Structure 1
Amino acid sequence: MYQLSAAERLALVKDVVEFAAGRVPVIACGTFGGSVEAQAEEVKRIGAECDAVVVVVSQLAAPGESEAVWQANAQKLIDLTADEAIPLGLYECPKPYHRLLSADMLGWAASTGRFAFHKDTCCAKAPIAAKLAAVKAAGASSPFKFYNANVATLAFSQAEGGHGFSGISANFYPWMHVWLTRNWEREPAKAAKVQRFLSVAENVVMYKYPQCAKHYLAGAAPAVG
């Protein structure tokens, strides 16, 4: 996504929205570096064409800058896009550098009412549990949802109050993630087997990703639905 120009990104969003034809919500990334003001303008452009806009966590503070700086920039982005009331999401994208949010910062984001979801990439049980506790503390009025990108901890995050999965292997066999998120508590023995399969299979589907996923979805994927 970083290799595309602003015009190319906008055209791609429009194409996806047209293809979706209202069948599912379309969410697109809207932060690609530069000043907070410039990123806010990009969020507005992208947000005018789709249902929600993703904010890449690492784009709101440079490596080494504190969470206070990140929070101030996030608040500024919220304020600059307030008139449009565009629903925002957070993604701890590994590129251009991997920045993880603390539980306190995620709880703050949930409390603002502007962030509707978060794609978490910490890949560890303790911080996942702490983050979900902070999200819960934000209150039932918050629209915030927590989506785990790490399939190996998916059943764990669901048990801790997570809302689903947003990761690589969902491009290949999403029905298995759906089953696990719905049945981890009802059928624990079967869920443990599904979790083990997903954890092992991840090592296969992540090879040459995202090229392998694009090839699979272009013609090799089975029909679903």
Structure 2
Amino acid sequence: MNTQTQTDKKGFIPVMLTPFKDNGAIDFDALTSLTEFYLQAGAAGLFANCLSSEMFELTEAERIQIIEHVVKVTNGVVPVVATGTFGGPIGYQAQFVNRVYDCGVQAVIAITGLLAESNDSDAVFNDRVFDLINQTEQVPLGFYECPVPYKRVLSAEQLYQFVATGRVIYHKDTCLDIEQIKAKLKATEGYSFGLYDAYMVHAVESLKVGSAGLSCIQGNYFPELVVWLCDNYNNSSLTAEVNQVQQFFVDNMDVMHDVYPIVAKFYLQKRGLNLSTFTRRAVGNFSAEVKSKVNKLYDDYSNLQLQLSIGSLV
């Protein structure tokens, strides 16, 4: 994956869905197709076993099975990262980090909200991060400011301290604040490290100030559009089109988040992928009104594809 010292080429890292069968079992055939779909779209890497994967609704064994499957299907074409911390004593979390790394991933991602309680100080959190680093040998690590169980956003100074160890190479940022993004990038400048922004409202600006790429749920609708933006965000001959794409993401933010990931699975069905809309996580009612909005999104994107001459993947 891109690092901050390689800012010329930006990358899209999908936060992968987990396809389930209608009976709730993991659908590994659909997971194969979905992985290939991301790769065909031009993804620079894959984030397996994340919140979009319904990771908290998976057993430990299922988490490992999914990660191993994605690594096998990807077959080294792009690197894979995956979550490896799910609460409990740091020693216990470190054991699972090592298990995940043994699956063949490039880096193991730590959930910031599971390394300390919400009322713990930054000092307590920092101590636990360094404890995790010490107990995971030479495993490359990353962070994800996951909103579940609560969102703990790292400061630029904290991120610098961790990256300076040489062990932290990846960060999925959800601070939603371009000024914080700038501060984090400045603090970690020169290190072999990549910050991937999740917030598409300021996607273009984030790429321009040095983010290594984007890692957003919008890639579970039209990954090729996110790749297009990563490729063309700074193309002076496409300024109008880039602005149009940026606005498209802004305008459709709400519909893509409503009863997610059911809506994303339904959208991918419309694109031709053979997967169920079943989710283990309770995310609300997929009502006729929500479905109507997703259908409109599909039509609007189809028109945008034609305007930008982006081919359909399926």
TM-score by length of structure 1 reads 0.90
Answer yes or no: is the 8 Å Cα contact 1:117–1:145 preserved in 2: yes
SS of 2:142's equivalent in the other structure is strand
- Which residue among 192, 197, 212 is the counterpart of 2:263? 212
Task: Measure the CA separation in 2 of the matches of 1:76 and 1:128.
Answer: 26
TM-score by length of structure 2 reads 0.65
Task: Measure the CA separation in 2 of the matches of 1:12 and 1:186.
Answer: 37
- Which residue among 228, 245, 248 is the counterpart of 1:197? 248
Task: Measure the CA separation in 1 of the matches of 2:192 and 2:269.
Answer: 34
2:171 is the counterpart of 1:171: no
Answer yes or no: is the 8 Å Cα contact 1:31–1:43 preserved in 2: yes
Deviations along 1:135-185, whole A, 9 cap, x unmatched? 21xxx2x22101100000111111211111001101111222222223222
- Which residue among 57, 81, 85 is the counterpart of 2:136? 81
Query: How far apart are residue 218 of structure 1 and its match?
Result: 5.4
SS of 1:49's equivalent in the other structure is coil
In the alignment, residue 158 of structure 1 is paired with which amino acid? L
2:275 is the counterpart of 1:224: no
Task: Measure the CA separation in 2 of the matches of 1:114 and 1:24.
Answer: 20
Structure 1 residues 52-201: aligned runs within 5 Å:
52-82=107-137, 85-136=138-189, 140=190, 142-187=191-236, 188-201=239-252
SS of 1:98's equivalent in the other structure is coil
Query: How far apart are residue 34 of structure 1 and its match?
Result: 0.2
- Which residue among 47, 54, 57 is the counterpart of 1:3? 57
Query: How far apart are residue 57 of structure 1 and its match?
Result: 0.8
Deviations along 1:47-74, whole A, 9 cap, x unmatched? 1003121111111111111111111111
Mean CA deviation greater in 94-103 or 198-207: 198-207
Task: Measure the CA separation in 2 of the matches of 1:169 and 1:194.
Answer: 12
Runs of at least 5 residues in structure 1 that lack an aligned partner in the other structure = none
Q: How many pairs align?
A: 219
Cα separation, partners in 2 of 1:221 and 1:135, compared to 1, 3 Å: farther
Task: Measure the CA separation in 1 of the matches of 2:180 and 2:76.
Answer: 36
In the alignment, residue 59 of structure 2 is paired with which amino acid? S
In angstroms, what is the RMSD of aligned CA positions? 1.9
Cα separation, partners in 2 of 1:183 and 1:30, compared to 1, 3 Å: same
Runs of at least 5 residues in structure 2 that lack an aligned partner in the other structure = 1-54, 274-311
In the alignment, residue 170 of structure 1 is paired with which amino acid? G
Task: Measure the CA separation in 1 of the matches of 2:228 and 2:66.
Answer: 31
Task: Measure the CA separation in 1 of the matches of 2:95 and 2:182.
Answer: 34
SS of 1:7's equivalent in the other structure is helix
Q: Rg bigger for which structure?
A: 2
Deviations along 1:63-108, whole A, 9 cap, x unmatched? 11111111111111111112xx222111000001111111111122
Query: How far apart are residue 221 of structure 1 and its match?
Result: 4.9
Task: Measure the CA separation in 1 of the matches of 2:112 and 2:147.
Answer: 9
Deviations along 1:178-223, whole A, 9 cap, x unmatched? 2222322223332212111111122222222112223444563575
Mean CA deviation greater in 147-156 or 103-112: 103-112
The share of aligned pairs that are identical, in percent, is 38
Cα separation, partners in 2 of 1:133 and 1:221, compared to 1, 3 Å: farther
2:104 is the counterpart of 1:41: no
The aligned residue for residue 28 of structure 1 is 82
In the alignment, residue 153 of structure 1 is paired with which amino acid? H
In the alignment, residue 167 of structure 2 is paired with which amino acid? R
SS of 2:56's equivalent in the other structure is coil
